[in-house]
Every structure is written in C-alpha cells, then in structure tokens.
Chain A
Amino acid sequence: MARISIDPVTRIEGHLRIDVEVDGGKVQKAWASCTMWRGLETILRGRDAREGWVFAQRFCGVCTTVHAIASVRAVEDALQLEIPANAQYIRNLILIAHALHDHIIHFYQLSSLDWVDIATIPKADPARAASIAEGYSSWPGNSRRELEAVRSKVKGMVDSGQLGIFSHGYWGHPAMRLRPELNLILFAHYLQALEFQRKACQIVGVLGGKTPHIQNLAVGGVMNAINLNSLATFNMDRLGMLQSLLQELIPFVQQAYFVDACLLSASYPEWFRYGRGVANYLAVPDLPTDAKATQFDLPGGLIMKGDLSSVQPIQNWRDQAFRSSVAEDVTHAWYKGEGAQTPWKGETDPDYTDFQADKKYTWVKAPRYNGQPIQVGPLANVLVGYASGHPLTRKWTDTAFKIISSVHDSGAHGFNLTPEELQSTMGRYLARAIRSAMLSDLALQHWQLLTNNILKGDDTTFNPPQFPSHECEGVGMHEAPRGALSHWVIIDKGAFTNYQAVVPTTWNASPRDEKGIAGPYETSLISNPVVDPSKPLEVLRTVHSFDPCMACACHTLDASGRVIARVKVL
C-alpha cells in the first residue's frame, strides 16, 4: 500500500492537496483538502447591497465577472427586481466570452500537458501532422509551415535541456500515449490559444468597460448607455466591433479546441471508464432570453444516480426546491458548528485542527442537495441539456460522438460513445469542449437578440432598485465555467446582514459529510489507475478534469506559505 500526498496540486488556480492510498496499481481511498482558509464573505457584511458585486468580483482573480453577476442577481432576486432585456443580453455576452476564455485556458494551459508529451514532439513529422489535422478540421493554424515552426521551437528547447516551465512534466510516462504528430498538433494550438484568450478578454472589455474587472454592472441592470446616434455610447460601431471579435474567436473554439478534445478522447478511450465519482448532477438555468428571466438558453436541472431519464428541470431562478434543498455541512471542515445549515444561516468561524483524515481535514465545506453530494460543471450542464432534449446540446454532443467514431489512425481507433459514458474523467474534458462549441453559437444568437432589440428602439438598460425597510433574502444563480454557482444574501435596510457563496469548487472538492459520504473529487479517484506511485500522473488527470479553482472555495491562511510541490510515498 502506498500513500501518496500531492501538495500542492499544480496547474490549477489556487492551492489543493490530494491524498490517495494506492494498492494493486489502483486508488483505494482519497481525500481532497483545501489548504487555505476562506472567509471572504465576512468582508461583505454591513456593506451597501448595491456595491456588493464590486467586492464579490475580487473573490477570485480568475472568475471575476462570474461573482459580480451572481452578486447582482442575488440582490435583484431579494428585491424581486426585473432588469431590462438589453441588460440581460449584455450580461449574457460577458458571461459567454468569459466562459470561452476560461475553458480554452483550462484545456490547453492547465491540463493538456497531462496527455500531451512535449518530449516526443521533435520526432513528429510536420507534413504528416498537417494532413492528420486537416482531415478533421478546416482550422487555418494547422498548416505544415505552422506545425514545422512549432516543432523546431520545441526541438530547440528539448535539445538545450532548458524546459523552463515545462521541466516538471511527467515526460515519457507510460500513460502518455499520443503519437508525436498528435502531440505536435495539440501543442501548436496550446501556443495559438494565447491569441484567442486575448480576443475573449477584448469582448469582455468592450461590454464591461474594463477587464478583468468589469465596471458596467449595477443592481437593476447595466450602466452601458445605448444611443445609436452618439459616438460616445454603445452604438452600431461597438456592436460591429463585438461581432467581428466573436467571428475571430469562434473558429478557434469550434475548429481547433473542440476537434482537439475529440481527438484526445479517441486516443484515450479507457479514460471514459475511470473517474465517474458522484453521479448526481446539478446545473442551474442561465442565459435568460427575456427581461423577466422566464426563458433560458441553457437549461437547468438535476440528475440523480447517473440516470439521465430521471432529469428534473429547474425552470427558473425562483425555483423553490433549489432554495430549500441546498445545505452546507462542516463535520469534516475546519469550521465550528455541526451538521448541515442552509447558506442563508451559514457561518464561517474557523476551527483548525491539522489534517486528520477521520475528522477535520479541509477548509472546504460540504454542500449537499437534499442530503446528497452533487457534481457540478460543464459535464452536469451537458448531461442536463442532453437529457432534457436541448437542441444545441444534442447537436454538439452528437457532432463530437461522430468525430470520435470516425478517427482512424495508427494510435487511435474510433469507437461509439454514449451520453452515459460521458460520466468519466475524459467525459468531463469532452463536455467542456461541447459546452464551448455550444456557447459559441449562443454568443452570436445573443448578439443578434441585443442588436434587434436596440434597432427596435429599446435603449433601456437599468431599473433603479428600491430597498424595503424590512429584511429580505435572495439567491443569485449562475452556471459558471466550473458549474453551478449561487450567492445567498440577506439584506436589511439596503445592507447585507449575511452573505454566503456556494461555489462550484465547493460542490466538487467537498469533503466527507456527517454520514461519511465523500465528495466528487474523492469518489472520482477511487479505482483510478496509478502505474508509478512516484509519478501519479493519472491522479492529476482526474483532478484536473474538474478544473479546480480553489481561490474562491477558500483563501490564503498564511500569505507567505511557500509550499514546494512534493510527492510523498509512504
């Protein structure tokens, strides 16, 4: 029996520790521990509810807009305040651009190197790589010349022995199986991805005034002044600029990223058998298409025990079942108190004990839905969409399955995949790419909705909030890049008296609860193969498939805590 402790897990946002017990080449037990305290919400207490989003936007440096939007939605929910249609569309476009940015970074910069072995790239034949890539996609960045340039760059790096930021990779690991040409294609897109991240940021900047911290939000709508006859406001020029940025960004998502995820899936079929974990899924409705938020372009719902036919819809943000079902348990987390509590009554009083596997071992609370652990994220989003017959989800899922079944190459042979099999480590990667392709289509649709509405003569963007003199409570939902996010607020005379954020990574990195039931990270690692305990690459693959972002799930305990990555084999 080998006990492996990976602390910190690298190539994620924030600090996470994973402990696993390995026997017979497989993980038998696992613990996910967040090593940073979280107490961000205490900063919000007592503050003006109209300004909460400005602070919430600083919870995390990566998911800035995500928390800003959830925060204004929470206050609007408490006030039962409707916002103008223009405001919905402008917010939606910001959310989509941010999500695309986030998904691109996750696939290439944060996780592709778990699957792509850079050290083999010098052996790749660029002409052959180009012809493989061109067989699946019309992406212009797949030319022989482009791939030859990347190959020689990598060769220079490998020959000099100066791998720089890549020196810690598990190169040559037996679980790395892509042929050199596929490694070259994916790494070429890794480098190209930087340019498209920039375009996604520019879209957020055009709409939000600034990026990464947007300036245009308000409780009640957005502050973009719309006037087609004024140069200084949101006008046809800006709409045109937005459209061309989208048209530059979308081909990279649909022709490079999406296709790469399919090729990766076809090359590592066994990874559709590992990493299922908690098979209860939650997605919240998002991308409202009307002012009252009654219709949504991303459906919400709940799937229990991996049974897609059991999907129960969450129709809108006022869903009563959602409000009464969410609770956070602190039995195994370093907080005072016992058992589960609705977020509206949540407290964050620290009670640190050191890592005690049978008692308290993390700063992350354990959120539960009707007492059950839940997995959130793009996979939940895609499964709920597929199960509820959402046309765009079906279109892109079926397209992915078709590409995967068509792959015929020396290293990979196509196979037929079902939506049920997406419940796996590789399924999470593929679902994120399916979601990105779908969001790209939706970006153009919401651009059109905004443009049509403005051309119709509607220039309203803001309904002023009125705060009652009595206490009121609200929930703000957002289907964020990492999954269902909810901000829970209590407001009295215009100021917050309580504020709790139940973030996607809390659902997924959840520790065991009162009943000893483990969370999604922990259960997904069980039976995961580990060929070489001193190089637990396979553990990282499953952990990275969730796209951990610990910054808002918890926060720095010791600001100067310089932990150096270590793998401990006991």
Chain B
Amino acid sequence: MSTSFVNPTVERPFHRIAVVGLGNVLLGDDGFGPLAVEMFRSLYECDSKVEILDLGTPGLDLAPYLYDADLVVIADAVHPREEETPGTLCVYCEDDLGSSRAQLRLTSHDPGVQESLAQLRLAGHAPSEVIVVGVVPESCGLGTGISLSVLNTCFAAVDTNARLLVERSIDCRRRYAPLQRSLWWLSGEHGRRDGFDS
C-alpha cells in the first residue's frame, strides 16, 4: 500500500474541504466512491466546512466542485498495479496522479480528475491539496452491487478519510450512533412496493 500522506508542518486556516466520491453506481465496483462517502457521512461527524459529495462520473464537470478548496479527498476505484489484488486500498497524493504510480479508473467520462485540476491550476483556483483514497475493483460490469473484497476495504477507506482530516487538524469525530445510510442502489428489493389500487 502506498502511504504518501503529506504531513503539513504549518497549520492552515481551512475554508472549504471536499470529501468526494467518484464512480458510477450502475457499474458494480465502480460505485466504490459513492459508497465510501455515504458510509463516511453516516459514521463520522465533521466540521461544517467539510462538504461530503457523491459526484458520480462528472468528467470535466468536476472542476466546479474542486474550485478553491483547501483540501480534496477523492474516493475512487483505481487501476491495480502489478501485484495488487481486488480490494487493495491505495492512497495517492496529487503528485502521484500525474505519474504512472496512480492510475484512476477510466470511466466513461474521461477526461476527468487530472484535466479538471490542470484547468483550475491555470485559472488560479486549484485546491491546495488533493489526496485519492482508492480501491482496486474486482468487477465493474453493468449492474448494481458491490463485491465483498471492495466492501470490506470500504471501512478501512472511510477510517483513512477521517485520519487524513484529523492529521490536518480538521474536526472529524466518529459518531456515537451512525446516521441512517442511503445506499439505495444496493437495496435488494426491486420494483413493487405498496401504493397500488389493485
């Protein structure tokens, strides 16, 4: 596992922090990002400056959500490097993104993260720090659902999110009682519910 955490030496005044989930919930493990941020919202209570966002697969539409943020933590499915098995947790810092070290999964919405960041940088509104908390997917075929290996890693990913915030002196505490989760795409009951006049 890559542990390229950046230890900030100076405490910065934070204005906006975004915890972002990327991926398509209709493509199996590609839905890791949305799952991870929803679990994070349910398990942790954060400073009001922390926005928790399920952004799906926004392509270049990602830029407005990263605009002027101090810190962005992105949960996403990533391409495995040689030896990594499905469910491996990978943490990357921004410098890794431009190199061959981190390969974000190509969704149907390339270009995405790197292009959005490059544009924001040129416009002078790039986030100060970007960290990717990634997982190696098992299957990204058409259909809802998440594989067990990825689901198991999800809890570790959520705790990593929290640790990254705490390390930067951003208020983030485990909730005494988790909030209700909205994992609508994983609910098993399809179709018919109540409310018919038949």
| A residues lining the B interface (CB < 8 Å) | 10-11, 13-15, 36-37, 39-40, 42-43, 46-48, 50-51, 54-55, 58-62, 64, 101, 105, 109-110, 153, 157, 164-165, 191-192, 194-195, 197-198, 200-201, 210, 212-213, 465-469, 493-496, 550-551, 555-556, 559-562
Contacts and interface: CB of A to CB of B under 8 A. Distances in A.
A141 to B, nearest CB: 12
B56 A157 contact: no
Contacts of B176: none
A194 B63 contact: yes
Contact of A54 (B24, B59, B143, B184): B184
Given A48-B192, A58-B25, A495-B192, A110 B60 contact: yes
B100 to A, nearest CB: 12
Contact of B123 (A50, A191, A467, A469): A191
Given A54-B184, A467-B197, A165 B118 contact: yes
B144 A43 contact: yes
Interface string B187-198: 000111101111
B196 A467 contact: yes
A17 B176 CA distance: 52
User: Which of A110, A200, A559 has the most chain B CB atoms inside 10 A of its CB?
Assistant: A559
Interface string B85-99: 000000000000000
> Which 5 pairs from chain A and chain B are nearest by CB?
A61-B57, A469-B198, A495-B191, A559-B140, A198-B64
B55 interface: yes
B61 interface: yes
A165 B119 contact: yes
B106 A562 contact: yes
B115 interface: yes
Given A50-B193, A194-B125, 16 more contacts: A13-B60, A13-B108, A48-B192, A51-B184, A105-B60, A110-B60, A153-B122, A164-B118, A191-B123, A194-B63, A195-B125, A213-B54, A468-B198, A494-B193, A551-B109, A556-B27
Contacts of A51: 184
A277 to B, nearest CB: 25
Nearest to B123: A191
Nearest to B115: A165
6 contacts: A36-B108, A43-B26, A197-B64, A200-B64, A465-B195, A466-B195
B192 A493 contact: yes
Contacts of A10: 111
B197 A469 contact: yes
A50 B190 CA distance: 11
Interface in B18-42: 24-27, 30
B140 A556 contact: yes
A560 B106 contact: yes
Interface residues of B, number: 49
A465 B25 CA distance: 27
B115 A48 contact: no
Contacts of B27: 555-556, 559
A536 to B, nearest CB: 20
A212 B26 contact: no
B130 to A, nearest CB: 15
Contacts of B30: 559
Interface in B126-158: 137, 140-144
Contacts of B109: 13-14, 61-62, 551
Contacts of A58: 24-26, 56, 185
A100 to B, nearest CB: 12
Nearest to A37: B142
B183 to A, nearest CB: 12
A39 B142 contact: yes
A61 B30 CA distance: 13
Interface string B75-89: 000010000000000
Given A109-B119, A195-B125, A556-B27, A493 B198 contact: yes
B105 A46 contact: no
A195 B67 contact: yes
B114 interface: yes
B61 A212 contact: yes
A198 B57 CA distance: 17
A14 B107 CA distance: 8
Given A55-B26, A561-B106, A61 B192 contact: no
B26 A40 contact: yes
Given A14-B108, A467-B195, A212 B58 contact: yes
A61 B144 contact: no
Nearest to B118: A165
Given A165-B115, A213-B54, A467-B195, A62 B61 contact: yes
B114 A468 contact: no
Contact of A198 (B24, B58, B67): B67
Nearest to B193: A48
Contact of B142 (A13, A42, A465): A42
B192 to A, nearest CB: 5
Nearest to A42: B142
Nearest to A13: B59
Nearest to A38: B142
Contacts of B24: 58, 61
A157 B118 CA distance: 12
A198 B51 CA distance: 15
A365 B79 CA distance: 31
B172 interface: no
Contacts of A210: 53-54
B120 interface: yes
